[in-house]
Amino acid sequence: MSEKTTEPTAIILAAGLSSRMGAFKPLLEIGGEPALLRLLDSIRAAGLRDIIVVTGHEAPCVEEAVMHYAEAREGEGVRCFLSDKTEAALPRPEVRADAAVIIRMVRNPDFESGMFSSVQAGLRAVPAQEPPAENDAGDAQYNMKTPAFAQPSAGALLFPADVPLVTPETIRAVLAAVQLPAFERNSACPGAQAAFSGDRFFRPAASPLFAQPICRDENFQDRNGHPLWIAASVFDEVLSYKGDGGLKAVRDLHGDRLLRILTDDEGCVLEMDTPEDFQRLQQYAGRGTKELSLPAPPFPPRIFLVRHGEPKQHTGRIFLGQTDVPLSERGREEARAAGKKLLRANAHTARVYTSDLTRARETAEAAAEILGAEVVPDKLFREMDMGSWDGELIEDIKAKFPEEYARRGDDILNYRIPGGENFYELRARVTHEFYRIWQAERAATEAVCTADASLSQPSRDLIIVAHLGVIRALVSEIRQDTDDTAFFRQYATGSVTALDAPDWLL
């Protein structure tokens, strides 16, 4: 693609049957306005000028509503084009050159087969990478002076019509994250900076083919949000895909080119599949459709991360992920030494949390005995899953799979060994569990204080015994790293890393 291909296209998927809802979702009213039209307002406010609406079920009703929407905003430069054909409804030369936004509607005749067919119908309508040829009369297929069609599309943002509360700030921030120059964060869109906590991107090494916001809910679980960005360079692959899993399967094939952006905008994940969902969505909209303000989780005053002692050595170097091996004699000494370090640090806790793998559990047991604490095994604190390579000799894997081994070396953070996980997936797994434990410890502390009002809140530290990858992931999360340096930090076996809870967590 040339450097000029910076114009994105928005695709709204409004063709579904709405079978679980029992009513046609795109036209259900939220705050007195149909969901689809509310979503159009947000897309326009974000600065997108090329919008495609894919219709199917109840197509005439959707088309009529969008046409009326555009007519009411003609003075703002909004133009709408309708086609009852399956190909793109491209505007003709009579389009006025001052059109600010062009909405095109295309019908998906295969909408009953599922959402993926609508995704493909929408992508087929995106402006081609080369300008269209002139017709017999010498006219271009569309007016190249029209701003929304001044150049081919850089890619598409997919918006399900049943997720209507995504904010303009979130849309702009996704586009800024994929580095479209027109959407870089600046004073023209100050909300985009606030919507994304610390610009915390889980960024692939190469330029992203897909990007999406990730919203952390009140239980500190990360949920995939909308819109989903699809780069133009992967359109053909999406259009030609015929396997199971649809768009998700294609996206997962490029997991190392997926950009994830952590946001607090709950509107990007609120959908209305059922009447209960719709009720929750209406309640949220009634609060003003603003970023979700999570209560600051009550962190203990100190966090101790202990790496397990040295494991029993293999005859050669292996990929040691979730393969279960015990401690060596030296490792048992390191475990006892770690317990003494915690004691000297005056660590106070009733429980020591640990990976359930033997090398970590044995370390936790040695430390807990010194501290007089209970050991709580937790499989979610296991080391990174190395999949089919786990427990295998590195030299054997290198000989059997030289290309895959080289790919992992070139992009070690994103590369996923078959059947395993990558660093970002490990980080998501362990941070989810970290926050769950954190809340449980807080609840236990509050219960003690409630039972006896004379007691002040005890200073309870959080101790976790785990593995190198897990510690790297937790340090990255606690310190709110915005780059990947945490992955390369070294922590010796038996080491104790003490972290004060940062101000933003207290």
Token output for 246? 């649809």
CB 210 within 8 A of CB 228: yes
Q: Which of 58, 334, 362, 383 is catalytic?
A: 383
Q: What is the dihedral of CA 117, 120, 121, 124, to 10 degrees?
A: -160
Q: Is 421 a catalytic residue?
A: no
Any idea how long the chain is? 506
Q: State the helix-helix crossing angle for 35-45 and 168-177, rounded to 10 degrees.
A: 50
Residue 224: count of CB within 10 angstroms of its CB: 14
Active-site pick, 57, 226, 308, 467: 308
Q: Of 168, 196, 167, whose CA–CA distance to 259 is shortest?
A: 196
- Determine the Cα–Cα distance for residues 85 and 97; give it in Å rounded to an integer: 25
Q: Give the integer Cα–Cα distance in Å for 44 and 291.
A: 19
| Residues sharing a CB contact under 8 Å with residue 187, sequence separation 6 or more, in sequence order | none
Residue with tokens 């897990």: 470
Place of tokens 């100050």: 190
Confirm if 141 and 135 have CB atoms less than 8 A apart.
yes
For residue 166, give the nearest of 266, 56, 74 by alpha carbon: 266
Please give the DSSP secondary-structure letter assigned to residue 197.
Answer: G
Burial status of residue 2 (CB atoms within 10 A of its CB: 0-12, 13-18, 19 or more): exposed
Report d(CA 418, CA 82) in Å as an integer: 46
- E strands present in 139-291: 153-160, 201-202, 210-216, 222-224, 228-231, 258-263
Question: How many other C-beta atoms can be found within 10 angstroms of the C-beta atom of residue 331?
Answer: 22
Looking at residue 313, what DSSP letter applies?
Answer: P
Annotated catalytic residue 33: no
Residues labelled as active-site residues:
308, 383
